[in-house]
Structure 1
Amino acid sequence: MVIPVTRLRSRFFLALCLLLHFTGPFSYAQQPTRIELLNADVSEFDESLEANALRLIGNVAFRHEGATMHCDSAYLYRDDNRLEAFSRINMRQGDSLQLRGKHLYYDGNTRIAQVFEDVVLSDGRMTLHTRQLDYNLGTEIASYTDSAMIFDGDNRLSSQTGYYYSDRRDLYFKQNVLLVNPRYTLTCDTLRYNTVEKTAYFLGPTRINSSSNTMYCEQGWYNTNSQQTSFQGNSYLLTRTQMLRGDSILYDRSSGIGRVFGHVSITDTVNRLIIRGDYGEHHELTDSSWVAGNAELVQIFDTDSLFMHADTLLATAADSLPAASGDTAKQNNRNLFAFHHVRLFKPDLQGRCDSIAYTLKDSTLRMFRDPVLWSGLNQLTADSIDIIAAGGGIHRLYLVNSAFIASRADSSQTGPIDSLRFNQVRGKTMTGYFIDNNLYRIDVSGNGQTIYYARNKEEKNFAVNRADCSDMTIYLEENKVKGLSLLQSPEGVLYPVKQISTRELRLKGFNWKEAQRPIDRAAIFR
């Protein structure tokens, strides 16, 4: 009979598959090697334990898969390829790993060792102490569930449960994790620690406490050698006087410099200050911080707050000595600086300038380079402006060089600026006095000039008083001029409104900047 070639090929393929199926496990599966007995002072069979069980006493030694085991006595179960060892157990694997204890179960088939009582695992770099430990010689992974203490140089770590990966020198800790170092204490729920890199990786809520600060995060790492830290997830750095928050924090404990990225906030609880921005730094040695990128300063008062924006905000200690804990005098002695494109808003005060210096000790705020300040209906300008605060409000202000104050004479008027009427005061320097945050008096010193509109009983402007006097005092009520005292060599003329030219209704240096006035908190960013 002739069999078709195609049928022969099919039968051959089927036979080959069956052959591979039945011979595969025998061809490729590695059979476990037998535990090798190297030494025992006394050896005897003990049938009361198990058939073919060998009882070993004195200087007992085994070898299995490259590992050696020593103990005082043991039972070797040859049929099952396992052993039970007692007293002074010493297991070694490779060049450095050593496992000691008082009681051992070892399965040669799974290569899993279970060690009990006074267990010590060491790898030449660290030592682990626990009551019970499982170690897989094949995967080189150790685990414990009944708490352990690890010593690694200056670091002492402990946790309820944990794993040790010998091949990559990684320790994983879980539950009640504690890392103690001479410089700090770390607590968390989950931690990975590499004994070669000396780096701890945080895998959950973590807190680090030291004598100078407290740090918190929900993810990150800390190198115990370099003392550098990276924090992410609700991270913050708390010092004696400040709290730094951000999306992530890089902190170098040796230099005391913390760098904060994303949604930065620096809170000074002593001075009731908050600084926010996109990026910030804190320097512990100089007790200074700065923030850039959408930077905002918030000064909290009892009844309201001052909001300030600039390209960069800087807070420094007034002296180079760090404030001692509880030394509120030094903690209050701080300076704040705002650099470039400064805008500020307070319900009763608004301003713009290029730079600001703010001294908390005497509550003095100094504005530099084209400063302009608005208080109620009044616009104040000068080469520089000093604001003296008290109790959350303005107590006094100084306009230094080219001082100028302007206000609308009739707020109901509409139209171009050239058509509007303004009360104006000009002088070399001016001092303004406030009651309940309202400007009520202005002292002008040197080259004083003024234009103000007199009103009739119907509260309409019917005349303009233009006066020149070296020194003068102006009195205001509800932000309106109510009186004028010309103190030295006065010259003044009262003109009917219609008999004075538009040019004469403006003092030299007049520049109405109402359009630049921040009208709310959001406006300081525009």
Structure 2
Amino acid sequence: MTIRFFLTSVFWILIFSLTGEAFAQQSSTLEINKADLLRGAVGFDRLLGNVEMKHQNSLIYCDSAHFYRAENRAQLFGRVRIKDVEDPITTTSTYAEYDGNTKVAKLRNNVVFTNQETTLYTDYLDYNRETNVATYFNDGKVVDSTNVLTSERGVYEVNFERITFRQNVILVNPDYTMKTNNLIYLTIPKTSETKGLTNIVSKEGYKLDAQNGSFYDTQQKQFRFFDGIVETEESRIKAQELFYDETKAYYEGKEDVRVLNKERQVEVYGDNGKYWEDRKYSLIYGNALVRKYFEKDTLFMTADTLISQDSEADTARYLLAFNSIKLTKADLAGIADSLVYNYADSSIRLFQDPVMWNQKSQISADSMIFYIANEELDRVYMKDKAFSIMTDTLLNYNQMKGREMTGYFVEGQMDRLIIEGNGESLYFALEADTLTQGVNRILSANIKLTFQDGAIRKANFGIRPDGKFTPVQKIDEKVSRLDGFNWRIEEKPDRAAIDAWRKPVEIDLDAENLFNDPDVKIEMPTEEQIQEKLGKSGLVPIKTMLVPLPKKGNQIEVELL
């Protein structure tokens, strides 16, 4: 290769490079398509009447403009419209500034930004055509086919069809109204995601609140709340993560789930849960807990799994509990493997080695049913291997057993006991409630006993009872115990045992709610304030009397000052 050829090649490479740069610069230059009048001024050109300019893929229309040719920017006045010839985006306003170098349009006053079905209304909008990002501040409103969203500030990322709303965000659609301070809305799938406190009120008056944000598919009508609460007229549901399908009326919660039935005054807790609103059916599992609220007292119950059915029919209202049953109330406590609570008659059925304690008595059987009336233990029915133990004033163990037993309570204490089938009774005879005389042991098919402070006061036996009295001097372990005796007081649950299983954290019903805040209208600046602000930045438009001149064909008349 000769030196001359090498230098020639370098020369043409430089020429092509410079030409490419010039072409690139030219492609980003604002161009004048037409105007009724073009007048020169110091540092800029005045375009007057039916102005049309072009920048890359955008056509710019306005009533008049100041074109700073050297700076490649323009100020646009009156009926401003910027239309993208390739994308379905059109922006209108009464004033705008357009920079051809940065590709940023600053639109002010009555701004309308339209992208297919989505329209943004505001008075202050900066639109970067390079990144296709529109930013508004000092109030804006976005409307599409489903929702209306308003906020103080927002960013519309057109390429991603994503709008980020900040400060005093309100989303309104036909089904609900949402308030938050940080919301991301995707215009194509019509989904919204919030950060931080989020409050929703449905058209039916339901309240849906989240402390740590939410996600909502507005078309599928599916919500997901974080540290959320859904409250209706009949129920209140809370979870660390709460999913709600409005169409199916279905809830699903994860971590610290709780469901309150307001009518029944029953609240259930668990690690996870599901609730079908139409069926009023709930499933709670994982360290489950029940609180049944009475006027004077509360019944607590633990289980591995809870199923609640609250149908319209009285016979179909129940609560099922499985495995590790423990329950406690002021006047009773109990354990069992499984349980059925019937809402209609306030009966509780216990299965598989159930044991109940109330004050001075312990009862056990293969299965049992006890009933609550006027918020107190009313009666209990025990079936198969029924065994009752009561302590008297001297802490002796009075014992009864039989195939079936029915016990009746007064003010929380055993008042009378009826034994049917293979009845056996062992009770201590006392003198003035201070001295044990001996032990009575009686066998009878049927036995009826009445008590006072745990001591037997009266006994009625069936036909031909078989009885034996043992004086105190001859009482030993064998004489003082019926077969099957097992005093299990160490298994009796209390509130400490309930709290160790799951200790409910009370809901703060006075927590912050954006619907409680008064609606404040942000005052928009006046035209004079806008002009003053623009003046301080050196962007005040020069007001000129417009004198229309006759056109000469397609030529633009130029008048130099």
TM over 0.5: yes
Contact 1:32 1:108 in 2 (8 A): no
Q: Show the counterpart of 2:267.
A: 274
Q: Show the counterpart of 2:157.
A: 165
Q: Show the counterpart of 2:8.
A: none
| Counterpart code for 2:65 | A
| Counterpart code for 1:428 | R
| Counterpart code for 2:423 | G
Contact 2:279 2:311 in 1 (8 A): no
Q: Show the counterpart of 1:326.
A: none
Q: What is the Cα deviation at residue 487 of structure 1?
A: 4.5
Match of 2:251 among 254, 258, 261: 258
Segment drifting more, 478-487 vs 341-350: 478-487
Distance, in Å, in 1 between the alignment partners of 2:92 and 2:183 is 25
Highest relative contact order (Cα 8 Å, sep 6+), 1 or 2? 2
Contact 1:376 1:479 in 2 (8 A): no
| Counterpart code for 1:343 | K
SS in 2 for 1:521: helix
Contact 1:309 1:525 in 2 (8 A): no
Match of 1:385 among 365, 368, 381: 368
Contact 2:136 2:153 in 1 (8 A): yes
Match of 2:350 among 356, 363, 367: 367
Q: Show the counterpart of 1:424.
A: 399
| Counterpart code for 2:174 | P
Structure 1 residues 425 and 212 mapped into 2: Cα distance closer, same or farther (>3 Å)?
farther
Contact 1:246 1:264 in 2 (8 A): yes
Contact 2:301 2:498 in 1 (8 A): no
Match of 2:408 among 421, 430, 433: 433
Distance, in Å, in 2 between the alignment partners of 1:107 and 1:500 is 108
What's the RMSD between the two structures over aligned residues? 2.8
| Counterpart code for 1:192 | I
SS in 1 for 2:490: helix
Distance, in Å, in 2 between the alignment partners of 1:318 and 1:230 is 26
Match of 1:114 among 99, 103, 106: 106
Q: Show the counterpart of 2:424.
A: 449
Distance, in Å, in 2 between the alignment partners of 1:411 and 1:92 is 98
Structure 1 residues 42 and 523 mapped into 2: Cα distance closer, same or farther (>3 Å)?
closer
Contact 1:113 1:134 in 2 (8 A): yes
Matched, 1:204 2:196: yes
Q: What is the Cα deviation at residue 236 of structure 1?
A: 1.2
Q: Show the counterpart of 1:153.
A: 145
Contact 2:29 2:101 in 1 (8 A): no
Q: Show the counterpart of 1:18.
A: none
Contact 2:401 2:423 in 1 (8 A): yes
Segment drifting more, 506-515 vs 171-180: 506-515
Q: Show the counterpart of 2:60.
A: 69
Structure 1 residues 158 and 448 mapped into 2: Cα distance closer, same or farther (>3 Å)?
same
Structure 1 residues 76 and 359 mapped into 2: Cα distance closer, same or farther (>3 Å)?
same
Distance, in Å, in 2 between the alignment partners of 1:378 and 1:248 is 44
Segment drifting more, 488-497 vs 235-244: 488-497
Q: What is the Cα deviation at residue 251 of structure 1?
A: 2.0
Q: How does 1:83-122 map to 2 (within 5 A)?
A: 83-93=74-84, 94-122=86-114
SS in 1 for 2:257: strand
Contact 1:365 1:388 in 2 (8 A): yes
Segment drifting more, 110-119 vs 371-380: 110-119
Matched, 1:219 2:213: yes
Q: Show the counterpart of 1:402.
A: 385
Contact 1:467 1:492 in 2 (8 A): yes
Structure 2, unaligned runs of 5 or more: 1-20, 502-561
Distance, in Å, in 1 between the alignment partners of 2:347 and 2:481 is 32
Contact 1:463 1:496 in 2 (8 A): yes
Distance, in Å, in 2 between the alignment partners of 1:62 and 1:137 is 15
Distance, in Å, in 2 between the alignment partners of 1:104 and 1:35 is 17
Aligned residue pairs, count: 477
Match of 2:306 among 286, 305, 313: 313
Q: What is the Cα deviation at residue 239 of structure 1?
A: 2.3
Q: Show the counterpart of 1:15.
A: none
Q: How does 1:460-475 map to 2 (within 5 A)?
A: 460-475=435-450
SS in 2 for 1:431: strand
Q: What is the Cα deviation at residue 516 of structure 1?
A: 2.2
SS in 2 for 1:216: strand
Structure 1 residues 244 and 408 mapped into 2: Cα distance closer, same or farther (>3 Å)?
same
Structure 1 residues 212 and 338 mapped into 2: Cα distance closer, same or farther (>3 Å)?
farther
Contact 1:401 1:428 in 2 (8 A): yes
In the TM superposition, what whole-angstrom CA distance separates every residue of 1:451-487 from its partner, at most 9, and x where no partner exists? 1111234733332212223332211112232321224
Q: Show the counterpart of 2:518.
A: none
Q: What is the Cα deviation at residue 518 of structure 1?
A: 1.7
Structure 1 residues 392 and 209 mapped into 2: Cα distance closer, same or farther (>3 Å)?
same
Distance, in Å, in 2 between the alignment partners of 1:283 and 1:409 is 49
Q: What is the Cα deviation at residue 499 of structure 1?
A: 4.9
Distance, in Å, in 2 between the alignment partners of 1:34 and 1:517 is 84
SS in 1 for 2:446: strand
Matched, 1:301 2:294: yes
| Counterpart code for 2:348 | L
Q: What is the Cα deviation at residue 127 of structure 1?
A: 1.3
Matched, 1:289 2:282: yes
Q: Show the counterpart of 1:39.
A: 33
Q: What is the Cα deviation at residue 433 of structure 1?
A: 1.5
Contact 2:393 2:455 in 1 (8 A): no
Q: Show the counterpart of 2:72.
A: 81
Q: What is the Cα deviation at residue 440 of structure 1?
A: 1.3
Q: Show the counterpart of 2:540.
A: none
Contact 1:278 1:293 in 2 (8 A): yes
Contact 1:290 1:315 in 2 (8 A): yes
Distance, in Å, in 2 between the alignment partners of 1:207 and 1:411 is 61
Report the TM-score when normalising by structure 1.
0.83
SS in 2 for 1:79: coil
Report the TM-score when normalising by structure 2.
0.78
| Counterpart code for 2:265 | R
Distance, in Å, in 1 between the alignment partners of 2:449 and 2:141 is 78
Q: What is the Cα deviation at residue 396 of structure 1?
A: 1.7
In the TM superposition, what whole-angstrom CA distance separates every residue of 1:333-390 from its partner, at most 9, and x where no partner exists? 8422211121112232111111111122322111122211111221111232111112
Distance, in Å, in 1 between the alignment partners of 2:141 and 2:325 is 55
Segment drifting more, 173-182 vs 67-76: 67-76
Structure 1, unaligned runs of 5 or more: 1-26, 321-329, 413-420
Contact 2:300 2:498 in 1 (8 A): no
SS in 2 for 1:167: helix
Q: What is the Cα deviation at residue 79 of structure 1?
A: 2.9
Contact 2:32 2:54 in 1 (8 A): yes
Q: Show the counterpart of 1:376.
A: 359
Q: What is the Cα deviation at residue 265 of structure 1?
A: 2.4
Segment drifting more, 349-358 vs 375-384: 375-384
Contact 1:350 1:518 in 2 (8 A): yes
SS in 1 for 2:101: coil
Q: Show the counterpart of 1:5.
A: none
SS in 1 for 2:159: coil
Matched, 1:510 2:485: yes
Segment drifting more, 453-462 vs 278-287: 453-462
Q: What is the Cα deviation at residue 34 of structure 1?
A: 5.4
